[in-house]
Amino acid sequence: MTASLKLISHKLCPYVQRAVIALKEKGVPFERIDIDLADKPDWFLELSPLGKVPVLVVTTDRGEVAVFESNVICEYIEETQGGAKLHPADALTRAEHRAWMEFGSAILGDLWRLETTTDPATFESKRLAVAAKFARIEAALGVGPYFAGNAFSLVDAVFAPIFRYFDLFDELTEHGIFRDLLKVQAWRAGLAQRPSVRTAVGADYPQLLRAFLVRHDAHLLKLAA
C-alpha cells in the first residue's frame, strides 16, 4: 500500500527538522507545508490535537491519518520506509538510542530558556545546564563521526538541529558550552556536513532565528556588543 506524505512544519522548529532529516535520509518524497505558529490555521488545529508541529499527514487508499509528535513520526518513518536503517537492530541498543533522543529533547527545553530569557541569571543557569548535559554526551560518544560511529541514526537527527542553534550563538557570545568537549565538537562538525542536515532548513534560517531573538528581547543578543 503506497502512502503519500505531507509534513506540516515551521521554519524554525527543531522538532520538524528531525522528521525532515529522517525523510531525507530515507530518500522519501514528501510535501512540506510551513505554517505560522502565531496564527495557526483552523485546518491545522483540526489535525493537531496538541496544536504543535510537526504533523505528518499520511494519505493512503484508506484515507488520511495525522501523526503527531516528532519522535513518533521518526519511528513511523523508520518502520515503514525503505532506505538506510536509522535505528540499531539490537533491541537494547535501540532502547539506548531512544533514551538519548529523549535526552536531546531535554536539552531543547533548556535551550528554549537560554535563547528567550531576558534575565542574565536565568541565562547563566541554563548555559551551565546545557554545558553539563553535553559533558554527559561527551562521555557517551565513541570514535564518530556520528553518535553510533559510521552509521547515521535517529539520535543524529535529533542532535543536528540542536547544534544548528549554535551557528548563530557562536557569533553572539563566547558561551563556552563545548569547551574541552572534543568528541562533541567533532560530532557537531560531522553532522554539519551531512546533506540531509544542511537541507533541513531554508537559506533564511539564520535571519529568522536572529529575528526570533529580537522579538524576545533575548539577553543573548545583549552579549553580542
Residues with catalytic function: 13
| H/E run at residue 108 | helix 91-116
| H/E run at residue 64 | strand 63-68
Prior bond to 195 cis, omega within 30?
no
- 126: which 3 cell numbers? 541554563
Cα–Cα nearest to 13, from 212, 170, 224, 167: 212
- 67: which 3 cell numbers? 501523526
- How remote is the C-alpha of 208 from its chain's centroid? 16
Cα–Cα nearest to 6, from 30, 28, 40, 41: 30
